[in-house]
């Protein structure tokens, strides 16, 4: 293979058989359970990086079923996002994500810098209750329960919230394990088509684990919960801050 061929083909690893196809990526019938809870402001301050600012001491804990996504297939995800501000604009910082499929783990980390780890999240309907669980190996790390579609709610505010900017820290190490890339990345969800949204009572429990440390942001009070289904496109990102740039 010639040098020019390497450069032409090199968008992902491995060079001759990438773990994922080029994006952007479209998701169909993406099912969300999002439980918003109040947490310890000091714990938030330890995990949200400057120049992002914490908007309120709130965390959104998510379970997401993705049965049909271009390039990534069928998988489930669970994790925490934090409402933040950047240059006076509201958005969310993606703090932790756990999922059960290799391709979106590799693609998410390599392209955007999603903080993805391999685990066993599950979202299921058990009679009148929606149940979300996160296992890391054999250990239970999170349990969410929510009533099944108690009240239909307007999809417009949810669709609008999905268009807000999302922020990530993308870290790529050098061969000597020092950071070669350390950037604040912004991306947007696009072409959103809502199928329905519901509110219900919900509860959330987080359990301590050394690697899947979702309990690092403890649940002090459940504020709200929403269940919705949508089609959307995960747009590609842009760098908004370079932590390694000379100052």
Tokens of residue 162, six digits: 């999905």
Place of tokens 């000379």: 246
Task: Locate all alpha helices (DSSP H) within the chain, ordered by sequence.
Answer: 3-9, 41-47, 102-107, 155-162
Our answer to whether residue 116 is catalytic in this structure is yes
Which burial class, exposed, middle or buried, applies to 54 when counting CB atoms under 10 A from its CB (0-12, 13-18, 19+)? middle
Other CB atoms within 10 Å distance of the CB of residue 178: 9
Separation of alpha carbons 228 and 9, rounded Å: 38
Tokens of residue 75, six digits: 């998988």
Which position among 60, 116, 122, 246 bears the catalytic label?
Answer: 116
- The reply to whether omega before 135 is within 30° of 0 (cis) is no
Place of tokens 């992902």: 12
Q: Are 123 and 33 in contact (CB under 8 A)?
A: yes
Tally of helices (H runs) and strands (E runs) in the chain: 4, 16
Q: Where are the beta strands (DSSP E) in 72-111?
A: 73-86, 89-99
Place of tokens 């061969």: 175
Which sequence positions are flagged as catalytic?
116
């Amino acid at each position: 293979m010639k040098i020019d061929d390497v450069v032409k083909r090199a968008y992902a690893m491995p060079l001759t058989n990438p773990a994922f196809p080029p994006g952007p990526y479209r998701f169909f019938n993406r099912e969300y359970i999002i439980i918003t809870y109040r947490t310890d402001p000091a714990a938030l301050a330890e995990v949200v990086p400057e120049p992002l600012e914490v908007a309120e001491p709130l965390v959104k804990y998510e379970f997401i079923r993705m049965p049909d996504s271009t390039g990534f297939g069928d998988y489930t995800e669970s994790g925490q996002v934090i409402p933040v501000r950047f240059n006076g604009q509201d958005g969310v910082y993606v703090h932790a994500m756990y999922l059960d499929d290799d391709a979106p783990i590799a693609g998410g980390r390599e392209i955007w810098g999603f903080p993805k780890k391999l685990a066993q999240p599950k979202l299921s309907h058990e009679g009148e209750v929606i149940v979300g669980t996160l296992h890391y190996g054999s250990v239970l790390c999170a349990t969410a329960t929510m009533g099944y579609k108690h009240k239909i709610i307007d999809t417009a505010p949810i669709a609008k919230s999905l268009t807000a900017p999302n922020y990530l820290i993308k870290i790529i190490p050098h061969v000597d394990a020092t950071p070669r890339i350390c950037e604040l990345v912004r991306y947007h969800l696009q072409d959103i088509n809502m199928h329905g949204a519901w509110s219900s009572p919900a509860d959330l429990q987080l359990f301590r684990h050394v690697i899947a440390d979702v309990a690092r942001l403890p649940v002090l009070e459940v504020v709200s919960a929403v269940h919705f289904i949508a089609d959307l496109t995960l747009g590609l990102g842009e760098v908004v801050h370079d932590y390694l740039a000379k100052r």
